[in-house]
Structure 1
Amino acid sequence: MNNEFVRYLKKRLIKLALHVFWLFPIEDNKISLLNELSFTYGDSLKYFDRFIHSNKKNEFQVVFPVKKESESSEYEDDIIVRPMSMQYFRQLITSRVIITNAGGVSYLPKRKGQIIISTWHGGGPYKKTGTDVYKNPWYKKQAKMNSDNTDYILSSCKSFSEIEAPSMGYSINQIIPAGLPRNDVLFVNHDEINNKVRKALGISNDTKFVLFAPTFRSKGNEFSNMSVAKDYIELDTDRLIKGLEEKYGCKWACGVRLHPKLANIDMSSLNVVNCTSYPDMQELLCCADAVISDYSSLIWDYSFTYRPIFLYAPDIEMYEKERGFYMPSSEWPYPIAHDNDEMEKVIIEFDSESYIQRVKEHHKVADSYEKGTACNILLRLIEK
């Protein structure tokens, strides 16, 4: 049976059944924050939770679903619920505002007076998404359920607004030029975060830190059929560290943060720091002196630090053919390596001054909305 049809049918049935919670009134000050990618305390929802408590303390009641019983939020007054529990559904359906980093919580029967906002979970004009990738007609129906249920989606740049958001069914009236709330932290001083991360990872202050964070690969064109084509790390981390130390004349450590679908890979034989379980990617980015990735949206986030980004992408031609990019990879400002020889070469030849100019031009071409004010824009949106 078609997997996407099953997902669509489940959402329709759940949506129908959840009307029973309309018996409970909407609470005007209640906001539910959903990190739907992992149901952990993280991503833009975590940073907006912090912003609310710093600027509007006691004015809102925050609901934050997390899947692990051992995990909570940073605030005792937040209501913590388990995803997909009866309490979860009741809290969401009685919230005046629901903010998610994925779709529009399409399985919820939206009520009059409710506002549903998506922060989305990736920025920049990079890999294609939505119906530009997943052609299954039942996926398209789910995408329409999402967009129909959503009042607003935050956009990181004009390229996202004009190309990527429409691929998910959003109209221009739903798109808010704001940037990503999780990226606000990249525009402020990082010293405290840097010390925190280094202490947690065991990296001394006199050692430079490079973070390797590859993205996942999809198999086929069904969203529910995600898998990782690579089940190993091809990057020669010893050679990488040696190249960086030769280039910059100081000691370097390499941290590796894998996508959750790759988290079971054994890295014990590698000369790396395993960062996969570290709970906050943005804090890792604040700490990193350089980043190596491929097509992950973290390259958009990290570009606002103007520190070096190197792309290790042995399969870039295949990836571009099978999934595609909104902006050709040849127009990205980041040096691209197809193998370990090329990685060593781009590091040795890296010129910081010209790189920074290319990144600034990239932000200009994409017409970036990132200014470190996304949380404030989001707050004004729900208060209006």
Structure 2
Amino acid sequence: MNSLINRIWRNIICPALSLLPKDQRKAVCESYAGRGFSDSPRAIAEELLNRGWKVYWLVKGPKEAESLPGGIKPLTIGSTAAIYHMCTAAVWVDNCRKWGRLYKRTSQRYVQTWHGFPLKRIEGDAESALDAEYVRAARKDSLMCDLFLSNSAFLTQIYRRAFWYGGEVLECGFPRNDMLFGPPGPSLEKVRRELRLPEGKNLALYAPTFRRDLGLSVYDMDYKRVCGALSRRFGGDWLILAKLHPNVADKAGELSLDPRYVVNASAYPDIQELYLACDALITDYSSVMFDYMNTGRPCFLYVNDLAAYKDDRNFYFDLDTLPFARAEDNDGLEEIILGFDGGAQRERTERFSRELGIKEDGTAAKQVADWLEG
């Protein structure tokens, strides 16, 4: 039955939809499968809106639609309106793979921003660890893409080798990071207001990636002790914002978090605003470290399951080559915080960026919009 439905969709419905008139200045954007207004698609959408484009945003439901600013219209995924606007838009923008049955028209352009510079092996480089259905969807998605965005020569090589993609790559940086080159004040005020944070506290962001078993053992950090170490090294009172990975964010209620030291920020839609609001980052194997690197602020790696995780997916880099101090338990985390050397981190970061050909200058969204209008 599914095979018959797919043939009808592909051979009858999609060709019929392709006859609808296309709006040359309409874009349909999506981020993290409809979870809200965030990431590089957000930055591109804002740039296109400022240039007079009609911008629509795919959302899971009303809650996610609330994150959209004025001028950007929500579309519920799978709705008739969503299908219509995707069929008649000139441009699609997404940071994840598209799993639906909708096929892009040859005259449309699909910009795949991806969602980070990888530490872990991904896509074809980790194919044996991926679900076969995901690989099928990823291959189809890459065939539809017209442009991938890259922040480095290194990532471009991964696209060519492991993403089943042979099209154009624009090495412009990640549009989501453009805001990291601007003033932090507005984001800090917004984060404090929306999370109802106390005034006068320095903020540290804790944002680890997910584990294959979708467990929460990584969140065993001694938050009180970490806040104390941050206070001793940098001064002031500290509060940690814990942002669970989207794949486990719905389990946040299972954690016992003392609000004197840690606040659950998992529902906050845009992590870039959290970067700007926070004075330090603690992560593990997540690509957030490479984004936060643009702020020049302290970053620490807490990897309490290093051996098991490395066996699971392996890394593109030896962890010793990363520019950030690393710890495997709470004792070690306290030690690297107290011993933080800003000058040494800056030197290591500059060397790392130079060796991998990283390009970030705050103009990525503009470059993408120029490409679309060119």
Q: TM-score, normalised by structure 1?
A: 0.88
Q: 1:364 aligns with which of 345, 354, 363?
A: 354
| Aligned amino acid, residue 126 of structure 1 | L
- Sequence identity percentage: 28
CA distance 1:11–1:323, change in 2 (3 Å): farther
Q: 1:167 aligns with which of 162, 176, 181?
A: 162
Partner residue, 2:207: 213
CA distance 1:251–1:186, change in 2 (3 Å): same
CA distance 1:12–1:97, change in 2 (3 Å): farther
| Aligned amino acid, residue 250 of structure 2 | A
8 Å contact kept, 2:218–2:304:
no
* Cα offset, 1:137, TM superposition: 5.2
8 Å contact kept, 2:257–2:263:
no
| Aligned amino acid, residue 357 of structure 1 | E
Measured against aligned partners, the alpha-carbon deviations of 1:129-176 in whole angstroms (never above 9, x if no partner) come to 1021133555443332111111110011111111245311122x4211
The 5 A counterparts of 1:1-384 are 15-16=10-11, 17-54=13-50, 56-57=51-52, 60-70=53-63, 71-72=65-66, 74-103=68-97, 107-123=101-117, 125-135=118-128, 138-171=133-166, 173-204=167-198, 206-218=200-212, 227-231=213-217, 233-260=219-246, 261-266=248-253, 267-270=255-258, 271-384=261-374
Moved more, 139-148 or 208-217: 139-148
Measured against aligned partners, the alpha-carbon deviations of 1:262-281 in whole angstroms (never above 9, x if no partner) come to 43233454231121112221
* Count of residues in correspondence between the two structures: 365
Task: Describe the SS at the equivalent of 1:263.
Answer: helix
CA distance 1:110–1:249, change in 2 (3 Å): closer
Measured against aligned partners, the alpha-carbon deviations of 1:201-238 in whole angstroms (never above 9, x if no partner) come to 344553211111111112xxxxxxxx413356211101
| Aligned amino acid, residue 235 of structure 1 | M
8 Å contact kept, 1:104–1:116:
no
Aligned mates of 1:348, 1:121 — CA distance in 2: 32
Give ranges in structure 2 of 5+ residues lacking alignment: none
8 Å contact kept, 1:231–1:265:
no
CA RMSD of aligned residues (A): 2.4
CA distance 1:9–1:355, change in 2 (3 Å): farther
Task: Describe the SS at the equivalent of 2:33.
Answer: coil
* Cα offset, 1:73, TM superposition: 5.7
Task: Describe the SS at the equivalent of 1:23.
Answer: coil
Aligned mates of 1:352, 1:205 — CA distance in 2: 26
Task: Describe the SS at the equivalent of 2:241.
Answer: strand
Aligned mates of 1:163, 1:321 — CA distance in 2: 20
Measured against aligned partners, the alpha-carbon deviations of 1:282-325 in whole angstroms (never above 9, x if no partner) come to 10010110011111111111010010111111112221221011
Task: Describe the SS at the equivalent of 1:264.
Answer: helix
Give ranges in structure 1 of 5+ residues lacking alignment: 1-5, 219-226
Task: Describe the SS at the equivalent of 2:252.
Answer: coil
Task: Describe the SS at the equivalent of 2:367.
Answer: helix
Moved more, 283-292 or 201-210: 201-210
Aligned mates of 1:158, 1:340 — CA distance in 2: 36
Task: Describe the SS at the equivalent of 2:289.
Answer: helix
